[in-house]
Structure 1
Amino acid sequence: MAPNLSPIETAKFAAARRAVDFVEGGMRVGLGSGSTAAWMVRCLGQRVREEGLKITGVPTSDRTAALARAEGITVVALEEARWLDLTIDGTDEFDPDLNLIKGGGGAHLREKIVATASDQMIVIADAAKEVAHLGAFPLPVEVVPFGWQTSKALIEEILVSLDVLGREVTLRMKGDVPFTSDEGNRILDLHLGRIGNARQLALVLNQVPGVVENGLFIDICDRVVIGHGDGRVELRDIATGSSEEDRIDFAAPENVFDDLG
């Protein structure tokens, strides 16, 4: 049996466990980053070891790559895979149209590239990630180190004319030094409160000199798998508008939980 997980970890595991059912042998799969995606990688590793599932994984961060290799998943770079059948990733927020804010871990640049190089994207999340309007979670914007202060000032200027509730922009830190992404860039966090027009904001931000990419994922997610603290999962499909519920059996082999101590 699974160890005594908190309700939030139970929800993450349930979503991840259900999502890997969509992976079939021979697929090239984008492997997301973050705590929920880590559960997904562990569940995929279990299928690789116990079912002999043969897949190729394309990780979206160095941390995910290390975890996938440890789980026995074959890992290649996107340049080698070229196009993917499926990407499974977490999110920081999602709205009724399955638009997302991602980048809480600072990997949204790679995550967006991998997701858009896939036939479909499945997002896994606990129920708390669902919002009526995007923006409560700070929106990450990746910028090059050179002139990041100028990029920040330009972003603050354009926010004045956009439909957002707040306009504070902060440089993400890691201890006493600026956070650095896997690509060697800085992250600016936009504390907006509420985003009135996410599509417009995404387009405008990417026109700012020095901005590499923002954390708004618009029209990229195809399906979301929502986990609940009691083991229930809800599947929503944006194309069909359908929604269905399932429940995860937690009588899982203990090796999925080995690294939880």
Structure 2
Amino acid sequence: MKTEGGTDAAKRRAGERAAEEVEGGDVVGLGTGSTTAYAIEAIGEAVANGLEVQGIPTSFQSRQLALEVGIPLTTLEAVDTVDLAIDGADQVVDDPDSSAHGALIKGGGAAHTREKLVDAAAERFVVVADPSKLADRLERSVPLEVLPDAHTVVADRIRDLGGEPTLREAANKDGPVVTDNGNLVLDCEFGPIDDPDELAAVLSSVPGVVEHGLFVDLADVTYVGTDDNVAIREY
């Protein structure tokens, strides 16, 4: 029998705790990533036991998992509201004294455009994470989904802003990563980000950028799985 390591167990605790927020009749945004996958599996188990919900997947990956575990699916345009979105993060500011407390970097799975659409539409956005994702300030590279014809122009603009862009290459095929929307991804290194809100506004204004991976003032709570419990960060 395979046993879970510490990180996997922490991810499972966070995901399953977030799934406990789902109530009958809810429309739930289903995020992307390994921690969120545990939440989707837990929701699927609840559906099998009679819970009535609808899910809105944010990627091909989350859609396939939701179908596998039996969650009925819908779309943003088919519903009046999204009650709850559950999603992971690549990095979370965990400093109550910082104005950026709760800000996120997402996009490691190249699904951040659809994730942001669903997460921003939700009445409540729940983040799930393990302790390795917590930081005093954001400092990971920021993923940008860009139009294919614009990637060199956007890269030049990022350099003008003091960033260092890298076109994300696919791991199992020749060429770049292509998103579910048919676009490319630039991973942009800015170093420590003291004002993610300001950087988010600047990146949104660059022509050719479809969406960036800074999620500012969107999260309501983060569930952090630990060795034996779940720590809660409310914003």
Cα distance between partner residues in 1 of 2:93 and 2:150? 33
Partner-residue secondary structure (3-state), 1:113: helix
Map 1:32-43; keep pairs closer than 5 Å.
32-43=31-42
Indicate which of 158, 170, 185 corresponds to 1:155: 158
Residues 1:171 and 2:174 aligned together: no
Checking the alignment, whether the CA contact within 8 Å between 1:143 and 1:188 is kept in structure 2 is yes
- Is 1:236 the equivalent of 2:233? yes
The answer to whether the 8 A contact 2:158-2:188 is kept is no
Amino acid at match of 1:4: T
Q: Paired residue for 1:182?
A: 180
The residue number in structure 2 matching 1:245 is none
The separation in 1 between residues aligned to 2:80 and 2:118, in whole angstroms, is 10
Are the equivalent residues in 2 in contact too, given 1:58–1:81 (CA < 8 A)? no
- 1:146 aligns to what SS in structure 2? helix
Post-superposition offset of 1:3? 4.7
Q: Which moved more, 1:2-11 or 1:66-75?
A: 2-11
Which residues in structure 2 correspond to 1:132-151 (within 5 Å)?
132-135=136-139, 137-151=140-154
SS in 1 for 2:218: coil
Give 1:95's aligned amino acid. Answer: V
Shift of 1:231: 2.8
Residues paired across the two proteins, number: 227
Percent identity of equivalent pairs: 41
In structure 2, the gaps of 5 or more residues are 95-100
Report which stretch shifted further, 77-86 or 108-117: 77-86
**Superposition misfits of 4+ residues, deviation over 3 angstroms:** none
How far residue 9 of structure 1 moved from its aligned partner, in angstroms, is: 0.3
Aligned equivalents of 1:67 and 1:25: distance in 2? 20
Cα distance in 2 between the residues matched to 1:117 and 1:196: 26
Partner of 1:80: 78
Q: CA offset at residue 95 of structure 1?
A: 0.4
Structure 2 residue matching 1:124: 3-state secondary structure: strand
Q: Secondary structure of the residue that 1:94 maps to in structure 2?
A: strand
Q: Matched residues in 1 for 2:153 and 2:185: separation? A: 13
Gaps of 5+ in 1: 160-166, 239-261
User: Does 1:131 find its partner at 2:135?
Assistant: yes
Distance 1:128 1:30 in 2: 24
Map 1:14-53; keep pairs closer than 5 Å: 14-50=13-49, 52-53=50-51
Offset of residue 82 of structure 1: 3.9
The aligned amino acid for 2:36 is: A
Structure 2 CA distance for aligned equivalents of residues 204 and 147 of structure 1: 17
Larger radius of gyration: 1
Select 1:218's aligned residue among 216, 219, 234: 216
Checking the alignment, whether the CA contact within 8 Å between 1:58 and 1:77 is kept in structure 2 is yes
Amino acid at match of 1:75: L
Counterpart of 1:235 in 2: which secondary structure? strand
Q: 1:192 deviation in Å?
A: 2.3
How big is each residue's C-alpha offset from its partner over 1:196-252, in whole Å with a ceiling of 9 and x where there is no partner? Answer: 211110000111110111000000000000001x231111211xxxxxxxxxxxxxx
- TM-score w.r.t. the length of structure 1 is 0.85
